């Protein structure tokens, strides 16, 4: 691994920042690779990273139609937690959360992991039952603990929260003390730098426009920069998964819709945990710059525009103002959206496909940032060995067999 030290910062300051190396190489595509990954979001990059790190497979290209991290992996609200209900889900999300704990050291890149604590507020009896059930399940699963907090304890932890609002009273919360956030761009950039260090090619501004097969097996992809051959193909394109699957001749049980977020002007520290209020499809945390990061629910119709509807901003902000009156005095600075890939059971797909040696990783919907290292770990194993321990329950077969992994409570904003 290349060494990048704090002394480099001092050295570059002394020479007027003339010597910084590119974090990842910019390169022309080769004629062929052992593995091509489509999509340089967090999941595509993590897949490439763990293919190299865990299996020594480095003749890999990651092909990205825009800029790396320009999809959902650079557009999310960075919440990390592993408080899922089913064993297969909590296993992969906890694997991811635990990898996040040491990802800065592993990548030698500060991803600003901040395990500041995560609350999911219960605002209806239905949510109380759902979250208590998840707390019990998490205890049996032996993951990083989650616990049930009563209303008074919630108020102690989040003093700016109005727990007695007329429309949205708080009844309690599910709490994971080592849930939190990380800096999304840094996760993408750190993974990209390590992939590049391992000799992998990250090819940006290059769209995959077709997938070629011969005898039911993948041979390569057509791109806006020509044909690239490959022995194995990983499709990791979130909201565009259906488009890529169509190129390979199969269909997916995925819907694409916009999810949006917005941030306020920076203010002094006022909330030192992450709070999700899934009943109102809202959530809030404070960035290191002091901005309040707010998010809403998914649009209720399918589309591919990275914006989100205005009425969602209005509804969510109205509810959050009742719960966090401090927000009413703030100016909002910017708003954006991303195209999320939603399955009916709100669980991801990590799977072989009807085409030999094409693998797909999608369906993380509104909740895949927290999964990036675990998903990459699992997908790399699946692609390298043709089967995977963490991935085994998340195959496409489950939709045919009716073996759903219902995570509608844990998915939170996407319930
Ligand atoms: P992406 O990051 O979207 O990457 C896919 C890439 O594929 C894109 O860069 C795209 O340009 C590329 N691509 C598409 N088609 C092609 C093609 N034909 N050729 C080449 N490249 C192509 N998750 C959490 O866990 N916590 C959160 O707090 C959270 N908040 C969110 C808030 C918002 C507003 C949004 C939109 C999402 C949020 N998520 C959250 C979800 C999370 O961001 C995603 O699940 C995750 O980032 C998906 O990563 P990915 O790598 O699969 O997809
Ligand atoms: O999955 O934790 C999550 C999440 C929070 C906001 C959007 N997604």
How many CA atoms within 13 Å lie on the side-chain side of 291? 15
> In whole angstroms, what is the distance from residue 311 CA to residue 96 CA?
34
Burial label, 264 (beta-carbon count in 10 A; 0-12, 13-18, 19+):
buried
CB 407 within 8 A of CB 363: no
Please choose from 238, 246, 373 the residue to mutate so as to test ligand 1's pocket, defined by most ligand atoms within 8 A of CB: 238
Question: How wide is the angle at C-alpha 82 spanned by C-alphas 165 and 39, nearest 5°?
Answer: 110
pLDDT tens track, the chain, 415 positions: 565 667 878 888 899 888 888 899 988 999 999 999 999 999 999 999 999 999 999 999 999 999 999 999 999 999 999 999 999 999 999 999 999 999 999 999 999 999 999 999 999 999 999 999 999 999 999 999 999 999 999 999 999 999 999 999 999 999 999 999 999 999 999 999 999 999 999 999 999 999 999 999 999 999 999 999 999 999 999 999 999 999 999 999 999 999 999 999 999 999 999 999 999 989 999 999 999 999 998 988 898 988 888 888 898 999 999 999 999 999 999 999 999 999 999 999 999 999 999 999 999 999 999 999 999 999 999 999 999 999 999 999 999 999 999 999 998 876 6
Distance of alpha carbon 313 from alpha carbon 408, whole angstroms: 22
Residue nearest to atom 5 of ligand 2 (CA): 79
CB distance 338 to ligand 1 below 6 Å: yes
Query: Is the separation of the CB atoms in 352 and 395 below 8 Å?
Result: yes
Ligand 1 neighbour 66 (Cβ under 6 A): yes
Report pLDDT digits (tens) over 254-271: 999 999 999 999 999 999
Ligand with minimal distance to 65 CA: 1
Structure tokens at 33: 């690779």
User: 332: CA distance to ligand 1 center in Å?
Assistant: 23
Atom number, ligand 2, closest to the C-alpha of residue 276: 5
Atom of ligand 2 nearest to the CA of 118: 2
Ligand nearest to the CA of 338: 1
- CB of 372 closer than 8 Å to CB of 184: no
Domains assigned to the chain: 32-76+185-253+345-401 (3.50.50.60), 93-180+256-342 (3.30.9.10)
> Considering only CA atoms, which residue is closest to atom 35 of ligand 1?
76
Residues with CB under 6 A from ligand 2: 77, 79, 81, 276, 283, 295, 366-367, 412-413
Cα gap 63→67, rounded to integer Å: 10
From the CA of 78, the nearest ligand is 1
* Predicted local confidence at residue 1, as pLDDT: 56
Structure confidence at residue 12 (pLDDT) = 86
> Running DSSP on this structure, what letter comes out for residue 114?
B
Q: What is the pLDDT of residue 2?
A: 60
What is the 282 CA–ligand 2 centroid distance (Å)?
Answer: 9
Ligand 2 pocket test target in 320, 412, 414, 415 with most atoms within 8 Å of CB: 412
Beta carbon of 296 within 6 Å of any ligand 1 atom: no
pLDDT (0 to 100) of residue 415: 60
Confirm or reject: Cβ of 70 under 6 Å from ligand 1: yes
Ligand 1, closest atom to CA 63? 20
Between helix 184-197 and helix 372-385 the angle, nearest 10°, is 30
Nearest ligand atom owner, CA of 75: 1
Q: Of the ligands numbered here, which is closest to the C-alpha atom of 203?
A: 1
pTM here is 0.97
CA of 297 to the centre of ligand 2 (A): 10
Is the C-beta atom of 237 inside 6 A of ligand 1? yes
Q: What is the DSSP string of 163-193?
A: TT-SSS---EEEEETT-EE--HHHHHHHHHH
Q: What is the number of the ligand 1 atom nearest to the C-alpha of 370?
A: 25
Cross-strand pairs, 80: 180
Residue 412: the pLDDT is: 80
Nearest atom in ligand 1 to the alpha carbon of residue 371 is 25
Q: What is the pLDDT of residue 413?
A: 73
Ligand 1 and 348: CB distance under 6 A: no
Burial letters 213-232, b for 16+ CB under 10 A, else e: beeeebbbbebeeeebebeb
């Amino acid at each position: 691994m290349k060494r990048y030290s704090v002394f480099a910062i001092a050295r570059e300051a002394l020479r007027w920042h003339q010597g910084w190396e590119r974090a990842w190489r910019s390169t022309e595509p080769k004629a062929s690779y052992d593995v091509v990954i489509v999509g340089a979001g967090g999941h595509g990059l993590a897949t490439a990273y763990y293919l190299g790190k865990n299996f020594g497979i480095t003749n890999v290209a990651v092909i990205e139609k825009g800029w790396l991290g320009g999809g959902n992996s650079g557009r999310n609200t960075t919440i990390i937690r592993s408080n899922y209900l089913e064993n297969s889900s909590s296993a992969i999300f906890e694997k991811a959360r635990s990898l996040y704990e040491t990802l800065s050291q592993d990548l030698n890149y500060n991803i600003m992991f901040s395990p500041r604590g995560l609350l999911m507020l219960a605002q209806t009896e239905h949510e109380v039952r759902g979250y208590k059930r998840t707390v019990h399940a998490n205890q049996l699963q032996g993951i990083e603990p989650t616990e049930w907090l009563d209303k008074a304890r919630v108020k102690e932890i989040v003093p700016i929260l109005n727990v007695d609002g007329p429309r949205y009273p708080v009844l309690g919360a599910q709490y994971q003390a080592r849930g939190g956030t990380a800096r999304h761009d840094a996760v993408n950039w750190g993974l990209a730098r390590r992939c590049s260090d391992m000799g992998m090619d990250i090819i940006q501004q290059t769209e995959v426009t077709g997938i070629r097969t011969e005898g039911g097996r993948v041979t390569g992809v057509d791109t806006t920069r020509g044909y690239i051959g490959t022995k194995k193909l990983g499709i990791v394109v979130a909201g565009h998964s259906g488009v890529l699957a169509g190129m390979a001749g199969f269909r997916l049980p995925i819907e694409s819709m916009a999810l949006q977020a917005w941030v306020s002007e920076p203010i002094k520290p006022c909330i030192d945990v992450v709070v999700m209020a899934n009943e109102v499809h809202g959530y809030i945390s404070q960035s290191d710059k002091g901005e309040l990061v707010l998010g809403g629910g998914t649009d209720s119709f399918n589309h591919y525009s990275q914006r989100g509807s205005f009425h969602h901003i209005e509804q969510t902000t109205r509810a959050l103002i009742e719960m966090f009156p401090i927000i009413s005095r703030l100016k909002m600075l910017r708003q954006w959206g991303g195209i999320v890939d939603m399955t009916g059971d709100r669980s991801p797909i990590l799977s072989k496909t009807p085409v030999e040696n094409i693998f797909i990783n999608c369906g993380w919907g509104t909740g895949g940032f927290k999964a990036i290292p675990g998903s990459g770990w699992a997908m790399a194993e699946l692609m390298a060995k043709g089967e995977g321990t963490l991935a085994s329950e998340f195959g496409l077969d489950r939709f045919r067999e009716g073996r759903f992994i219902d995570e509608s409570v844990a998915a939170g904003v996407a319930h």
